[in-house]
Amino acid sequence: MDVTVYSTKPYDRQFLDAAATGQDLALHFLEARLTTDSAALARAGAVCAFVNDDLSAPVLRVLADRGVRLIALRSAGFNHVDLPVARDLGLHVARVPAYSPHAVAEHTMALILALNRRIHRAYNRVREGNFALDGLLGFDLHGKTVGIIGTGKIGEVLARILSGFGCRLLGHDPFPNPVCEALGMDYVGRDEILSRSDILSLHCPLTPETHHLIRDEVLPLLRPGMMLINTSRGAVVETQAVIRGLKEGVIGGLGLDVYEEEADLFFEDLSDQVLHDDVFARLLTFPNVLITGHQAFFTREAMTNIAETTVENLIAFRQSGRAPHEISVEMIAGKP
């Protein structure tokens, strides 16, 4: 089966080639992102896509016209796929439901620790011979209240890590997780988790319900000086509102691995170019903002699992017309 792989980086190719060794798959690697234009390059068979590839209705129509029957996502999140249109076109969509919740939860913890102890600033200071401690004051995580919105696979691993730090755990999820409850997590409503959390970490999928979950009208609910961490999807947070929260001091620290408009920035080396995104540029000016470019998933273990599950989806589809990890329209609401 021909598989057109979009948004290929050298590391994608390395892990996919290894996983596909000995399998009857012809992988065609393209560096281009999937767009309405690049969709015309797809071969009949399957397309393999990543988080910032465009899988909106016009692109899906081009793919279907070209004889594509399966879209194999190299991600867990599928908010970027127009699933009703895919279904109407007879396109199957499969994903990698879990590749390493540890990778994302551990990166989340890295953001919390680095932001709290100002490691990003201390690193630069020490290199410049500045050993002053002013501005580097942090707080003990022990005894602090951490709210986790979305206590699925990643939220659960984070809860276990935070429990080891001696944090109090609050959760908000339409489906409480017994493992989190056993750790002592209290499940509370949205307003309560916003108002009681010293640190709030987002681990829900991006759905119509979670879109701009953090927006202007919830800022007054937040604990003054709280820390907000988003490693889920950019649009769960309204960036302009968060900038206002940072300016007012309501948000005392912001850690982001995802950004609403990341598709035009992340995964590329743009260091020689002028930054055109003024909102992103404003975020970069805050000393208490730490941004990574959607790298939370990026561990050897996760990349191996992503590649192996993707190949598993492709092989099973070629053999039976069904992939083991297909996504259905009903899953748009949030829970598989």
List residues with catalytic annotation: 233, 262, 294
CB closer to ligand NAD out of 153 and 223: 153
Neighbour-count burial of 121, counting CB atoms closer than 10 A to its CB (0-12 exposed, 13-18 middle, 19+ buried): middle
DSSP assignments along 30-72, one per residue: --SPP-TTGGGGPPSEEEEE-TTS-BSHHHHHHHHHTTEEEEE
Host H or E run for residue 227: strand 226-230
Host H or E run for residue 3: strand 2-5
Binding mask 138-157 toward ligand NAD (x if CB under 6 A, else -) reads -----------xxxxxxx--
Q: What is the DSSP letter of 228?
A: E
For the bound state, the minimum distance from the C-beta of residue 302 to ligand NAD, rounded and expressed in Å, comes to 8
Asked whether position 257 contacts ligand NAD by CB under 6 A, the answer is yes
CB closer to ligand NAD out of 206 and 254: 206
Site for ligand NAD in 32-91 (CB under 6 A): 76-77
Q: How far apart are CA 316 and CA 119, in angstroms?
A: 46
Asked whether position 197 contacts ligand NAD by CB under 6 A, the answer is no
Which of these segments, 7-15, 130-138, 197-205, 304-312, binds ligand NAD (CB under 6 A)?
A: 197-205
Q: Which of 173, 260, 262, 312 binds ligand NAD (CB under 6 A)?
A: 173
Provide Rg for the chain, Cα atoms: 21
> In residues, how long is the chain?
336
CB closer to ligand NAD out of 300 and 335: 335
The token duo for 262 is 């990341």
Asked whether position 172 contacts ligand NAD by CB under 6 A, the answer is yes
Host H or E run for residue 86: helix 83-88
Q: Which of 45, 147, 205, 234 binds ligand NAD (CB under 6 A)?
A: 205
Q: Which of 33, 74, 95, 203 binds ligand NAD (CB under 6 A)?
A: 203
CB closer to ligand NAD out of 164 and 174: 174
Q: How far apart are CA 117 and CA 137, in angstroms?
A: 7
Asked whether position 175 contacts ligand NAD by CB under 6 A, the answer is yes
Site for ligand NAD in 262-301 (CB under 6 A): 294, 296-297
Angle in degrees, CA 176, 179, 182, rounded to 5: 100
Neighbour-count burial of 94, counting CB atoms closer than 10 A to its CB (0-12 exposed, 13-18 middle, 19+ buried): buried
The closest residue (CB) to ligand NAD is 152
What is the binding site for ligand NAD (CB under 6 A)?
76-77, 98, 101, 104, 149-155, 172-175, 203-207, 209-210, 231-233, 257-258, 294, 296-297, 334-335
